[in-house]
Each structure stands twice: as structure tokens, then as C-alpha cells.
Structure 1
Amino acid sequence: MKAFRIPSLFRVATVAAALAIGGVAAHAQPGPGHHGGPGMMEAGFGGHMGPMGHMGHMLDVVNATDAQRSQIEAIFKAAQQDLAGQRDTGRKLHEQMAALFAAPNIDAAAIESLRAQISAQHETASKRMSQAMIEAARVLTPEQRAKIAEVMKKHQARMAARHPG
């Protein structure tokens, strides 16, 4: 069973933030045929590119000011600090889950209880990252968010062409 890792969440969150910053404008008034975007990893942005990851690249694309960059970096640093304690808790929950599945007798109630705890932890992290993405989106201008949405739409089209279905 793969452990829930906060650092991975933050690598993904930088991409999610780029999607959200661009997507806030796009999702507020979806165009014809819009059915929502792919998940963060489906968008093709796995990996890590330094402290701001792909977010830094997106901020380059929209010519973000130093002040905007500083604000956005502070927003995500605060979110990371808020969620730092969850890393050990998540690891322990997943270790407990693995032990339950390796036990001679399967305790369905205990497994369900742990699943609910893990799910609640993921929900807490998701809400906090969503809050950070909204805050970051508010730092950028509507034009900058629209530019990010345009870049992401083009990227998604390229990924769809490469990986149909």
C-alpha cells in the first residue's frame, strides 16, 4: 500500500495551483463543450522543478511581478507548514492499514475505520490546498489567469493527442 506523502502533495499542488489560477477564470464561465479538466496528474505535470515547481514556469509565462511571486510563494509555504504534521500521521495510518491486511484474520471494521481516517486526512489536505490555490489566484490579474488557462488548455490538448482515451 502506498503511503500518503505530504511532499508529493505539494509537488502536485504547485501544478494544481497553476491549473486553479488559470482555471478560476475558465471555470467561472466555462465555454461550450467544457466538461471540467483532467486531474492534476492526468494533466501531465508530474515531477518537481524546485521550490515553486511548474508554478514558477507558469508565473514566467504570465510575466508575474516579483511581488506576485513572493506573495504566491508565501501562500504555499504557509499551506505546507499547516499540513506538515500530517505527514507522520498519514504514514502511521498507512502502516496500520498494511498490518491489518497482512493479519491472519481480516478485521473489516478496523480497515473501514482506518480508511475513513485516511480519507478525512486527505480531505483536510485538499481543502487547505484549495484555499491556498484560491489565495494565489487572487494575487494574479484576470488577464494573467486567462493566459494560464490558455496555456493549460493547449497543454491538455497536446496530452490528449498523445494519449487518446
Structure 2
Amino acid sequence: MRAMTLALILGMALPGLAAAEEIGSVDTVFKWLGPNHKIVVEAFDDPEVDGVTCYLSRAKTGGIKGGLGLAEDRAEASIACRQVGPIRINEKLKDGEVVFKERTSLVFKTMQVVRFFDEARNTLVYLVYSDRIIEGSPQNAVTAIPVLPWPVAQ
């Protein structure tokens, strides 16, 4: 009960984070009981930068534990962010700001995406990684978007 209360409190303490929309998935391992192991592709829009959408692919553990939300997902993830419209920055950006966070185990492990702005190159940089309260993982992926003018339709 305490673990669920802690997870609820932590979830409420992170306002302004993007919510992901599942684009699709593929099964990787058949499970007799519960859902199969799979790779999911999700999309989310940067909450502070209009015109940017990020796509994540990551493993989701199936089986009985996975179906009940008790399994720990692997730390690997891939990210690709793209300009999908005119880029407009809504607030002053903070380097390393978390723009997306999702629980990948019952309580202790999360996957998150942080944003940096490379001012010298006028480029937004997004980093995805997994962390755990006790020990994180060095596995990560990065993508970058140059801030360019968006062509106007004639």
C-alpha cells in the first residue's frame, strides 16, 4: 500500500510532462499466460516547444507480471524527435528539463526524456535514459533537431 501511495504522490508531483500515445507494437516473445513481450512505439509532443514530436521505441515485459504491472521493463530505448510544424518555444528552456517520464517497474525504475538547448548551434537535443533509485543504467539514446524556419504553404 505504501508503494502505491508513493507512486501516486510522485506522479502528481510531475505536472507539465508530456503524455505518450501508443502508435503501434510488435510481439517479440510469445507467453502462454498474460500478454506477450513486445516492443512499443509511442509518440509525445514536447510540452514547452510547439512543433516538436518525439517517438520512443522500448521493450515492454509481458507474462503474468507484465499484465499486472509488476514486471520491470528493460532499460533500452530508442528516440527520434522531429520538427512537425513551426517551432515555437513557449517558456525559457532549462537544460536537462524532464519532458517525458514513464514508470518501467512497480516503483523504483523510470524511463525519462530530458531536453537540452544547444544555443551555439540553435539545436534542441533530447536524451532518453532509464534510472532507478538505487542504480541507474548507462544505456541511452539521443536525437537532435535544428531549429529552422517552417515553410509556409502557398
* TM-score, normalized by the shorter chain, greater than 0.5: no
- Between 1 and 2, higher relative CO (CA 8 Å, sep ≥ 6) is seen in 1
Question: Which structure has the highest helix share of the two?
Answer: 1
Give TM-score scaled by structure 1 length.
0.22
Give TM-score scaled by structure 2 length.
0.23
Work out which of the two has the higher radius of gyration on C-alpha atoms and give 1 or 2. Answer: 1
